[in-house]
Structure 1
Amino acid sequence: MLVMVLIAAAVVNLVGIRMAGSIEGWHQWMRAHAGWFLAWRLLLYTVTVYGWLWMRRRLHAREPDGGARQRLLRVEIAAVLAVVALEVSRFM
């Protein structure tokens, strides 16, 4: 699945470069539409958080012990740090 996503990303970039005429044209188009990309990412994050909360409630109902809560907390912290690192890296 990961390989398919990487191939799809490469194809989208190659088609975009071809349509824009050059790599610089592709970069300009992407910069011009950065607001839409931000909206898309925020939508994806919102849907992911909603799904995570739904899954979390189900897990807590099924496994009320403290071990599941600790594991979830570690995963949640790691996920938030990963998203923050990805978003901050865009500005560096």
Structure 2
Amino acid sequence: MPSPFSPTKPDRPLRRLLIIMALLVASLFVLAFVVAFAGIHLLGGIENWQQWLDDHAGHFFVWRLCLYAAVLAVWPWVRRRRLARDPQSHRQLRRVEVLGVLAIVLSEASNWLRLH
């Protein structure tokens, strides 16, 4: 099966996917800004907001662990589908897995070092 990035395949679905992903990322940034702005406003200032975030760091860690568990639960299904479509992508998937785990470990280590 040809790659979705091959020049012979129309790029319309890929363009649509990229637009949807860009809109999703932009929406998440807007949502994060609104939540941060509301939190700063409700707590009476940036210092209080930062203190609230520090006080609830454990809750956010548990939330991130739940997100990681959800991704881990879905990943085998995604992996099987990808390998069924393109059996040659085994090395690419392994690279994505290693880089994903590395990014999570480094991110959590950074958070831990900041708090301790």
> Please, what TM-score do these two structures have when normalized by structure 2?
0.70
1:13 aligns with 2:22: no
Name the structure 1 match of 2:51. 28
Q: Could you tell me which amino acid in structure 2 is paired with residue 59 of structure 1?
A: R
- The within-5 A match list for 1:5-84 is 5-60=28-83, 62=84, 65=87, 67-84=88-105
CA RMSD for the aligned pairs? 1.6
Q: Rg larger in 1 or in 2?
A: 2
1:84 positional shift? 1.5
Q: Is residue 2:106 matched to residue 1:85?
A: yes
Gaps of 5+ in 2: 1-23
Question: How far 1:83 moved relative to its partner?
Answer: 1.1
Matched-pair identity in %: 39
- State the distance in 1 between where 2:77 and 2:32 align: 29
Distance apart, 1:24 and its partner CA? 0.8
Tell me how far 1:64 sits from its aligned partner. 7.8
Kindly provide the amino acid, as one letter, of the partner of residue 88 in structure 1: A
1:30-61 CA distance string (max 9 Å, x none): 1111111011000000001111122113334x
| TM score, norm. by length of structure 1 | 0.86
Q: Which moved more, 1:82-91 or 1:70-79?
A: 82-91
Q: Which has the higher contact order (CA 8 A, sep 6+)?
A: 2
